[in-house]
Structure 1
Amino acid sequence: MSQDRVPDQDTDGPASRPKRAAGVLSRPVSEGDSVTTLELFFDLVFVFALTQVTAKMADDLTVGGLVRGLLIIALLWWSWTAYAWLGNLVRADEGITRIGMFAAMAVMFVLALSIPEAFDDAPGGLSGPVVIAVCYFLFRALHLLLFYVSSAGDAGLRAQLLRFTPAMLAGTALLLVAAATDGPAQTWLWVAALAADYLGTYLGGARGWRVASPGHFAERHGLIVIVALGESIVAIGVGVAELPISWPIVVASALGLALAGSLWWAYFDVSALVAEHALTAATDERRANMARDAYSFVHLPLMAGIVMLALGLKKVLQYVGDVHHHDLGDPLKGVGLAALVGGVVLYLIAHVGFQLRTTGRLNPARLVVALLLVPLALLGKSLPALATLAVLTAIVVALIAYESVRYAADRHRARNHHRHGVVASE
C-alpha cells in the first residue's frame, strides 16, 4: 500500500556491519534463519500468562483493575522481548541457549501462576507480589547472562549490556519495594519500576545492539501478535463455556471472530511485510534503533490493545449469553465497554506508529478511524452490548475493505515481491 512505502536502502552493505561472535557453547544466527520451534514452545508460556491477565482484569472490573492489568502486560512484554533479541543473536535451540530457554520458561510459568496475586497477596503460602518480583529478576538476569556468554568477542554489545543492566536492577528493586506496600502506593511503585526499566533501556541507546536476521526478528514479533490474537479468541470461548448455546452467543461469537480477523488482516496483509523490508534495508545502528522503537516499544500498546479487546469480548459474550443476569437489551458499561472499544483504538494507533517508524509514512485512514471510534465508547452506554460489538466490527471491517480496494495495486505488488524475496519499494 502506498502508506507503507519502504525507505530507500542504506548504501552501507553487510560488509560494514560489526562482526558478530558467539561463545563456543552457542551458534550464531545467520541472515536467513527463521524462528525455531523452541521459540514457539517458549511463547506458549506467554499464552498462559496473557490468559491470566485477562482473567484478573475480568475479576477486578474497575479502572484500577484495568490499570494494574496493563502494568502486568508491560512487565510480561519487556520480559518476552528480551528473549526475542537473544534469539536473534544466537539460535535458541542450540547449546547453552537451549538450556537457558527452558530455565526461563520455568521461571516465567511461576510468574504467570502468581499473576492473580500480583498486587493482592492471598492468605497462606508465599507472598504473590514478592514471587512476581523475584521471578522477574531471575528471568531478566538469566537473559543478561545468556546474552553476555553469547556475545564473546563483541565489545560493543557487551558494553551495551553493561549500560542496560542498571535499568533492570532498578526496576526489580522497585518491584520488591512495591511488594511491601498496597493500594495506590503499590501501583505507583509498579509504574516507577517499569519506567526505570523501559526508559533506562531507551536512554542507553542502541549502538551496541545487533539485529542479525531482520526476517527472524520481524517473524518473531508477528508470531507473538498471533498468539495474542488467539488469546482473544480463547476469551470468547471462556466467556460462554458454561452457558447454553444460543443465537445471541452464535452471533456475538461470529462478530468477535470477524473483529479479531480484521485486526490480523491489518497487521499481516501488508504492514508486517513492508516493515520487514524496511528493517532489512536499514543497517547497523539504524537497524537496531528501528527494531527497538518499532518492535520492542511500539508493539507494547499493540499487545495491550489486543488483551483489552479480549477482556471486552469476554464481557460481551457474558452479557448476551447469561439470560439470568442480563437482558439482550442491556448495554455494556464501564470498564468492559472501555476495554472493548479502547482496545481497538489502541491497536490502530499503535499500528500508525509502527508504520510511521518503519516506513516514515503516516496512515491517515487508520488514524481517522481510531479517533472516530472514541465516541462509540460513549454511545455504547445506551446501545445493547451486541449492537455495540456489531457497530465496532462493521467499522473495522469497512476500514480493511477500504484499504484493500484503495491500495489494491500496491498491495499486490508488495505481496508478490515479498513472495519472491524482492524488496518492494511501492
Structure 2
Amino acid sequence: MNKPLRRRMERNEESSTATNLELFFDLVFVFALTQVTALMAETPTWHGLLRGALLLSVIWWSWVGYSWLSNLVKADEGPARTAMLVAMAAMFLLALAIPEAFDDLPGGLDGPLVLAFCYLLVRAVHVWLFWIAADDDTALRAQIVRFVPSVIGSTALLAIGSQLSGAAQTALWAAAVLADYGGTFLIGASGWRLNSAKHFAERHGLIIIIALGESIVAIGVGVTHLAISWPIIVAAILGLTIAASLWWSYFDTHVMICERALSDAQGEERVSMGRTAFTYLHLPLLVGIVMLALGLKKVVGYVGGENGHTLADPLYGPPLWAMYGGVSLFMFGYAAVAWRCIRTFKAQRVILGVVLLALVPLVANLPAMASLAVLTALMAGLIVYEWVKYRDLRDEIRHAEHH
C-alpha cells in the first residue's frame, strides 16, 4: 500500500542544509531579477522605479514562502519535489510576463493577467504543500488557515489591477503587496515552524548572491551592443568593486553572526527572528542591489557612448538615485537585520547610508564615471575601515566554534 503523501515527506533537522533542487529552483529568480532590471531601465522614471520595487516585492514573497516550506520538509523528497518543480515552472512563466506586468503588448495573451494567474499558482502550490507537510501539527495548520486570506486578497488585487492602467493599477499593486506582507504580519509568528537555522540563513545568503550576480549581469548586458573601450573597462571594474564590497559586507561576518543568533533562539522567538530579520528585512537588501544594478547598467551605457552620450555627461535623476539610494537601502537593511538578531547598532553602516543620500544632489553635477568612482571609493573605504577596526573580532567570529 502506498504511504500517504505526508508520510513520504522528510522533516528537516537542525543540521539540514540547502538541497540541489532548491538551488535549481533559485535559477528562475535570477531570470526574474534580470527582467525587472531591464523593465526599469526602459522606463527610468520615479513611477518606473516604484513599479520595479513592487514587482520585486511580489517576487520576493514568492521566494520566501518556499524558503519556509523547504525549511520544514526536504525539498527533494516525496511530493515536495514535484510541487517545487511545478512552482518553478509557474515562477518562470511569471518572469516571462514581467515585461508586460503593467502594459499588455499587442497580440497574444493578456500579459498582466498571465502574471497574476502565475502568481496565484505559485502561492496555491505553496499553501497546498504546506498543509500536507503540517501533518498532525494542529498549531501549524491553524496558522496556515489564518494565512490563506492574505493569499486570496493579494492575488485578487493583482487580477483586478491587471485590467487597469496608470496610477490606479500601481495603487492596486501596492495594495496587493500590503495584503501579503501586512496580512502575514498580523497573524503573528505563533504556529509557524523554523526547524533549521543553518538552512534558513544559508538560503537567504544564496538569494543575496543571486541578486549580486544580477548587478554583475547588468554591467555586462549594458555593454553587449557597444564596442569595448577603456571607459567601459574602468566602469566595469568600479561596478564589480561595489558588488564585491556589498558581498564582503554581508558574508564576511554578518551572515555567521545572524545564523548563530537564529540557532541560539528557540521556539516562537526563533520564528519571530526569522520572520523579521530574514523574511521582511532582507527585502531592502534585495531591492537595494537591484536598484544598484539599474544604476550600473546606465553608467556603463553612458561611458560607452550609448545614445550619443559622452564621458562628460552626468548621471542624474532616478537612475542616479537608484544607484546611490540602492546601496544606501542595503546599508539600512543590513543595520536593521543586525539590530534584530544581535541588538547591535551598526553606526558606520547607517552613517554611510545617510551620507550616500546626501551626496546625490552633489554628484548629479559630475560625469557619470566620476559619480561611480565616488560611490566605489566610499564602499571600499567602509570595508577597509571595518577590516582594520574590527580585525581581532572578525578573526574570532570567523574561526570560533559554535555549539
TM over 0.5: yes
1:130–1:323 CA distance, 2 compared to 1 (3 A): closer
2:225 to 234, 242, 250: 242
Structure 1 letter corresponding to 2:56: I
Question: Do residues 271 (structure 1) and 254 (structure 2) align?
Answer: yes
Q: Distance in 2 between matches of 1:394 and 1:367?
A: 17
Structural mapping, 1:25-424, within 5 Å: 25-322=8-305, 325-417=308-400, 420=401, 422=402
**TM-score normalised to structure 2 length:** 0.98
* One-letter amino acid of the structure 2 residue matched with residue 353 of structure 1: A
Provide the secondary structure at the position in 2 that maps to 1:23. Answer: helix
Aligned residue for 1:382, secondary structure, equals coil
Matched residue SS, 2:8: coil
Shift of 1:323: 6.0
Deviations 1:52-101 (A, max 9, x none): 00000000111111110110000000000000000100000110000000
1:340-387 alpha-carbon deviations (Å, 9 max, x no partner): 101100000000101001111110000011101112211121101000
Aligned residues: 399
Residue pair 2:93, 2:118 contacting (<8 A) in 1 also: yes
Q: Which ranges of structure 2 fall in alignment gaps of 5 or more residues?
A: none
AA aligned opposite 1:317? V
Task: Name the SS of the counterpart of 1:285 in structure 2.
Answer: helix
Runs of 4+ in 1 over 4 A off after TM superposition: none
SS of the equivalent of 2:313 reads coil
Deviations 1:262-306 (A, max 9, x none): 000010001110000000000000000000000000011110000
Letter in 2 for 1:110: L
Q: Which amino acid aligns with 2:280?
A: F
Shift of 1:25: 2.1
The aligned amino acid for 1:315 is K
Letter in 1 for 2:317: G
What is the CA-CA distance between 1:132 and the residue it aligns to? 1.1
- Report % sequence identity: 53
Which has the higher relative contact order, 1 or 2, with Cα contacts under 8 A spaced 6 or more apart?
1
C-alpha contact 2:294 2:323 (8 A) present in aligned 1: yes
Task: Give the whole-Å Cα distance in 1 for the aligned partners of 2:108 and 2:177.
Answer: 26
**Matched residues in 1 for 2:218 and 2:186: separation?**
37
Distance 1:242 1:249 in 2: 12
Deviates more, 1:224-233 or 1:125-134: 125-134
Q: 1:169 aligns to what SS in structure 2?
A: helix
8 Å CA contact 2:116–2:155 kept in 1: the answer is yes
Question: Quick one: distance in 2 between partners of 1:323 and 1:45?
Answer: 29
Contact 2:90 2:122 in 1 (8 A): yes
**TM-score scaled to structure 1, two decimals?**
0.93
- Identify the residue that residue 18 of structure 1 maps to in structure 2: none
CA RMSD of aligned residues (A): 0.9
Q: Which amino acid aligns with 2:159?
A: L
Distance in 2, matches of 1:221 and 1:311, equals 22
How far off its partner does 1:324 sit? 5.9
| Cα distance in 2 for residues equivalent to 1:364 and 1:30 | 36
